[in-house]
Each structure stands twice: as structure tokens, then as C-alpha cells.
Amino acid sequence: MMKLEDIAKLAGVSHSTVSRALAGSTLVNRATRERIEAIANDHGYMVNQVARNLKLQHTNTIGLIAPELSNPYYPKLIQCIADYVSAAGYSLQLHLSGKNQENEDKSLVNLRNNRVDGILLVTGEHGLMASEYAAGLHKSGIPIVLMGWFPGADAFDFVTGDDADGARQIARHLLDLGHKNIAVIGKPVHRGPFDRTTAFINEIAQGGLVIDAGNCYEITSEQDAILAVKQLLQTEPRPTAIFAYQDSIALVVCKELQAAGIRVPDDISVIGFDDLDMASYVSPALTTVGCHIDAMAKALVQRLTERITGETAAAEPVGVVVPTRLITRQSSGPAHDISS
Amino acid sequence: MMKLEDIAKLAGVSHSTVSRALAGSTLVNRATRERIEAIANDHGYMVNQVARNLKLQHTNTIGLIAPELSNPYYPKLIQCIADYVSAAGYSLQLHLSGKNQENEDKSLVNLRNNRVDGILLVTGEHGLMASEYAAGLHKSGIPIVLMGWFPGADAFDFVTGDDADGARQIARHLLDLGHKNIAVIGKPVHRGPFDRTTAFINEIAQGGLVIDAGNCYEITSEQDAILAVKQLLQTEPRPTAIFAYQDSIALVVCKELQAAGIRVPDDISVIGFDDLDMASYVSPALTTVGCHIDAMAKALVQRLTERITGETAAAEPVGVVVPTRLITRQSSGPAHDISS
DNA sequence: ATACCCATTGCAATCGATTGCAATGATGTG
DNA sequence: CACATCATTGCAATCGATTGCAATGGGTAT
């Protein structure tokens, strides 16, 4: 592959001059520059970024670590991130951690060795697993911005949806609909101030209702969700509404309910969280809480690039919380007492 | 950040020795090596890949260009690809071309400048747009493997699902169900031997039926699909089955049909293509054609890594075609004549 | 004791760029 | 005409690794 030296020889100048010419420096005579440009063009010269990166001590690359792509939420987010990253002039190095500690570490090491300029860390449902290692990297000067919140996240810049507020909106919606016996299907995660189920339960309590412990199902898989539904259908009095902590779970809940002959929302209302595209396609269309993913992606890469360019290098970590909103569709309706 | 030289100084040896020690070379005394390893470890030394890449003339990274992430088919594919790529010891540089010519070119340039070892090009619905440029790159020695087929693809290694066969299976399925009046909603793409609609129409013809030109709708967006459905509902006699060339279209078709009070499949059968996860969630669950995405991803990266390592460097381009299969669900049923 | 061998280590070139500084020559000025 | 100025250009160091080759020195065979 053509290199600077080759073009220099062809043009009868030194490689320094070629380098300057191609960079558009004013230090080279206009005629010379144009001649060099022509030659470079004719021979299809393209700068070797890896040499350039070595000399310049940066790579114009951003590392992105995400858990997986099978939950449609992530592709949506990554699509936006990729667009903003490329608009900002960076390349994207993508690593899928597969929700597993070892991989998250490996990705971090890899990204660091490759000297990416900064890292975007999308934490899985369990929060950041490589937290300790990430903190080390971060302290050593590599800009890292987190998507999501978990205990310890405050050491980083982070961006998250206002999940707690979304959960509260759901709670009020259900209360308004007259539901008194509500079940919660959630994961045993603890996202502190941003925890969905905690906020939900608290808001319901604000309304003067307490959610029976027996109506709180902690699940860790779709299998569990199915089991939870089966159990729930046997309890007396049977709940008239279910809050599932994410759409993908709400979807299997609806499916299972319908398979058991229960009508949604006539018999039981179901509400999810995330506003997946799919949520509007299923029948009944899912009531859920959405967040402007685009806004989050934008904040994410903006924050990171600012850190990289040093605009905000010294500043304290900041967290940005983007609002969520309730999207009322067909899976939720007025409570009908069917305990009899 | 620590470099080789620093560790060398600490250990009282030359940087060459450190390099060898860390690479596990037998050319360095065991005791020396262990001492160096300990020091490197203590000080958190991590090799600078960009320097290494420059010297070694390869980057251990694979470039992936895909059109977008909003059609769930792509994330599914990319997930698999990412897993295989990482299993093979490479990093992934992801570029989303957004179906637009200019971006595809830009990505190719970028990837080349970054000296990725090879490129995986997943072509959008319109086939490879940067075909000419890609061909140039390929000729210049950069391994490129294509996902999908388009006229001219034979110059590359490529992997594709056997879409034509899938379409034929659908045709026979519809024929078996007794449908005589069938509509096709497809895109004006011409994927030659792998074209879905062409294969479908031909197979129907094998069954002795000819699909009326008026029943073939060429669309380029979901909007168009909705329009097509409206038109279709006015034709007499009204078709009893619709073949949509991809699930995402089939989904809006169903939605539109149902909105118009048509029952699927009682009044009209609808069949898609791709087997998106969503297809099994909607109501009625979609009859469609699926393909082992995992197998395609595997073939894709296997082929590419073989080219990179030179195992098959000299060999002719090869195309691998992975089988497809009909998945019968609820959206297709026996034909009922409702023309009256 | 001499010669030779082998294990270990260091020297220096190399990968392909960028850039501070020195060198060159043309031009302008007093 | 002598000298300062300025626009161009080249030299050489540098980024942080890898690796062929030479150098060193201890051990063994003759």
C-alpha cells in the first residue's frame, strides 16, 4: 500500500512536505500542494491511521460496551449512539459483554489496549459488573460515560432515563383506573433512586394502598415470569392489574394470561416499561413508559466527546436524567372486580 | 501510561528483553522473564496495541458495515457475528451505513484507513451500493465477505440464505391451502437467483396459477404497504392470500387488514419472511420463512478469518447458501372464497 | 589451554506517520 | 550593495512496539 514516502518520491519532495500538503498546511507552496494532491489522488493514497494514531496519541475511536442485542431496546439505543458518534467524527468499536463479568473486563482491557479515546458503557440489568476495573481505568484518565445507574455510578458521568418517575406515572394511572389489588413482577435489582419497582410501590403507597408481599414476584427469566403468572392466577382475591418491569416481560405475561383465557385488559390490566416497537404491534397494544432514546444517546456521546476534548476535563462527574412518559394503549383499563 | 521502556528500566534490562519476556519467548531466561512479568503486573503495564499494530502490519480487528439496526433482523445477525468475531480473537469496528451510498463509501474508506484486517459487508435491501469502491478495495487485497447477494457479488465471497427456496416453500404452502387468487407485496429489488418474489411467482406458476399483474404491488416503504392494502381490498375478486416479502411489512399488512375489519387468516392469509422474534408475538402469529442466522454468521466470519490468515487466500470466491424453512403459524389458513 | 557452542541479552532498524527547527533562496529595504 | 525578512522545504526525532543480528560470557570437548 502506498505510503507517504512513495508519494514524496513521485513528487520529488520530502515526505514531510507531502504530509503537510495533504494536511492542508499553509507551510507548503500552493502549486506544490496541488501537485502532491493530484499525485496522491491518482495513486489512491490513503493515510495509515494506525501510524498516525501512534504519533498523535489518540485514535478517534470510541469504545462501546453493551450487554447484548436481543432485547430490542439495545439496538435502538446503539443505532442512535452510532449515528451521533459518527457525526462527531469518531469510529465505533463495539463489544457485546453478554451480561457476564469476565467479558466486560476483557472488553475494557481490549479497548484500553487499543487506546480508544473514550468508552461508553451500557450497563446491563445487573448494573455494571466490571465496576472496579472500570473505576480504575477511569481514574487512570480514560473518559468513561455510563448509561444507566447503579450503586457506585456517581464516580462516573452517567445518563439514565427517569425510570422512577415513569414508574410513578404508571402507579397513578392504575390508581386512577380504580385498581386496588395490584401485582408487581420485577427483577431483584437495586437501582437506588432510579429503581422502577421501588418507586412504583412507593407511589402506590402514596395513594393509600399497600401492595401485598405475596403479590410481588421477583423473577430473573422469562420462564420465571410464566411461573409467576400461574401462581398469580391462583391467588385470592386475584389482582386486577400487573406491572411488569419491562416490556419484554409484559409481553410474555400477556401471552400467558391470554393462554389461560384471561382477557387483557377486561379481566386484568398489564403495563410494561421501555416502549419497544413491538409494544404497539401486539394485541392488545401495550401500555408502557417510554423515554427519548435519541436524547439519551445524544447526551451520552456529547458528554463523552466533551471529556475527550478536555472541554470539561476537570469538572466533577455529572449525571443527566432524561424524562420518561406514560404511553397509554389498550392493555390497561378500568378495574373490574372479578374476585367472586 | 507505562511503556516497554519504563518496565525495562525498572527491571534493569533492555526493552527488547521485556518485549520478548512478555511475549513468552524462549529466548529469555526464565528467572528474568518472571521478574519482568512481576514488575509489569505490579505497574499495570498493558501493551500499546496501536504501536504493535503498526509494527506487525495487522490490527486484529474486523470491520462490519450494516445498513441499520431498526429492522430487528440486523441486530440478531450482528449479535451472532459479534460473538463469532470475538471468539476468533478479533475486535469489531461497527459502521451503520444507513442505507445510503455516501455513508457506505465513507465507512469503507474509514475501515481501510484504520487498516482493519478484513471487512464484513451486510448489504441492505438495495444490494451493495458502494459496489464499485468495494470491488476496488477487494482487488487491492483487503478480504471482504458479503452478506447477501446482488448482481456483481460473485466477485466476492458471500453468504446468503436460500431465500428463493423459502419463497418456493411459501408458494407451495399457499397452493396446498387451496389459494387461487394471491397477491404479492414486494420491493423492486432484483436479487437474481435469490430473489424472493421472482421465485415465489415462478413456483406459483409451476402450480398452474398465474399471478395477475394487478396483484403485484411494488413498495418502498411501510406507507406504501398501507396504500397497497387499501388498493388490494378494492380489487375484485379480492385475493385470499398475501405474500409480503418481509415480516416487518407483513406486520403492517396484518394491522391494516384488521383495522379494515378483515379477519386473518379466515378472510385473507398473510405470510411474511425472516422470522423475526416479533412474528411469534403478534396476533395472529405470523407464518413466515426462517433461516439459521447463527449458521450464516458463523459462515461469514469463518470465511473471512480464513481469508485473513491466508488459508484460502488464493482460492476462487465462494458463495455459501444456507437453507431456509417454512414456519407455519396462525396467519395462514385454507382459502375461503369470499368474492361474493 | 584453545576452540567452540549455546543460552542470554542488547543494539539498532523498522513500521508510517507528524512536527520543531534549521537551511535555503528569493525578495525587499536602506 | 549588504543585510534582514519571509516563504518553502528538508532533516531528524518521536510515538511504542518487534525482531534479525551481533555481542557477551560461561561451560564443555579436545
Minimum mean pLDDT among A69-73, A123-127, B76-80, B280-284: which range?
Answer: A123-127
Note the pLDDT tens digit of each residue in A2-47: 999 999 999 999 999 999 999 999 999 999 999 999 999 999 999 9
Q: Are A251 and A227 in contact (CB under 8 A)?
A: no
Phi, then psi, of A252 in degrees rounded to 5? -70, -30
Using a 10 angstrom Cβ sphere, with 0-12 exposed, 13-18 middle and 19 or more buried, the burial of residue A277 is: middle
Can you read off the three cell numbers belonging to residue B148?
447477501
Q: Measure CA to C1' and name the residue nearest C12.
A: B16
Minimum mean pLDDT among A77-81, A98-102, A147-151, A240-244: which range?
Answer: A98-102
Segment A145-156 mean pLDDT: 87
> A70 CB near a chain B CB, below 8 Å?
yes
> B105 CB near a chain A CB, below 8 Å?
no
Segment A169-177 mean pLDDT: 97
The alpha-carbon gap from A182 to the nearest alpha carbon of chain B, in Å, equals 25
The whole-number pLDDT of residue B339 equals 45
B280 or A84, higher pLDDT? A84
- pLDDT > 70? residue A337: no
Per-residue three-class SS string for chain A: CCCHHHHHHHHCCCHHHHHHHHCCCCCCCHHHHHHHHHHHHHCCCCCCHHHHHHHHCCCCEEEEEECCCCCCHHHHHHHHHHHHHHHCCCEEEEEECCCCHHHHHHHHHHHHHCCCCEEEEECECCECCCHHHHHHHHHCCCCEEEECCCCCHHHCEEEEECHHHHHHHHHHHHHHCCCCCEEEEECCCCCHHHCHHHHHHHHHHHCCCCCCHHHEEECCCHHHHHHHHHHHHHCCCCCCEEEECCHHHHHHHHHHHHHCCCCCCCCCEEECCCCCHHHHCCCCCCEEEEECHHHHHHHHHHHHHHHHHCCCCCCCCCEEEECEEEECCCCCCCCCCCCC
The whole-number pLDDT of residue B336 equals 80
Segment A70-95 mean pLDDT: 94
Chain A residue numbers with beta carbons less than 8 Å from the beta carbon of B94 are 64, 82, 92-94
User: At A132, is the pLDDT very low, low, confident or very high (cuts 50, 70, 90)?
Assistant: confident
Minimum mean pLDDT among A80-84, B150-154, B198-202, B295-299: which range?
Answer: B150-154
The alpha-carbon gap from B98 to the nearest alpha carbon of chain A, in Å, equals 9
> B47 CB near a chain A CB, below 8 Å?
yes
Percent of chain B exceeding pLDDT 70 equals 96
Chain B residue numbers with beta carbons less than 8 Å from the beta carbon of A277 are 70
Can you read off the three cell numbers belonging to residue B4?
516497554
Note the pLDDT tens digit of each residue in A178-226: 999 999 998 876 778 889 999 999 999 999 999 989 999 999 888 999 9
> B283 CB near a chain A CB, below 8 Å?
yes
- pLDDT > 60? residue B340: no
Best probe of the B interface among A107, A111, A114, by most B CBs < 10 A, is: A114
The whole-number pLDDT of residue A46 equals 95
Rounded, the Å distance between the CA of B48 and C1' of D22 is: 28
Segment B136-141 mean pLDDT: 87
The whole-number pLDDT of residue A339 equals 45
Segment B223-245 mean pLDDT: 94
The whole-number pLDDT of residue B128 equals 61
User: At A340, is the pLDDT very low, low, confident or very high (cuts 50, 70, 90)?
Assistant: very low
Q: Classify B12 in phi/psi space as left (phi over 0), alpha (psi -120 to 50) or beta.
A: left
Q: Model pTM greater than 0.75? A: yes
The whole-number pLDDT of residue A225 equals 94
The whole-number pLDDT of residue A100 equals 72
Segment A104-128 mean pLDDT: 88
The closest nt to A20, taking CA to C1', is C18
CA–CA separation, A100 and B8 (whole Å)? 35
CB contact under 8 A, B72 and A75: yes
The alpha-carbon gap from A281 to the nearest alpha carbon of chain B, in Å, equals 7
Beta strands B216-218 and B182-186: pairing type? parallel
Minimum mean pLDDT among A266-275, A325-334, B140-149: which range?
Answer: B140-149
Work out the mean pLDDT of chain B and round it to a whole number.
91
Note the pLDDT tens digit of each residue in B303-321: 999 999 988 766 789 999 9
> A60 CB near a chain B CB, below 8 Å?
no
Rounded, the Å distance between the CA of A118 and C1' of D14 is: 24
Q: Are B66 and B94 in contact (CB under 8 A)?
A: yes
- pLDDT > 60? residue B254: yes
User: At A127, is the pLDDT very low, low, confident or very high (cuts 50, 70, 90)?
Assistant: low
CB contact under 8 A, B115 and A76: no
Q: Which of A47-51, A184-188, B122-126 has the highest mean pLDDT?
A: A47-51
CA–CA separation, B76 and B287 (whole Å)? 19
CB contact under 8 A, B69 and A75: yes
CA–CA separation, A41 and B106 (whole Å)? 16
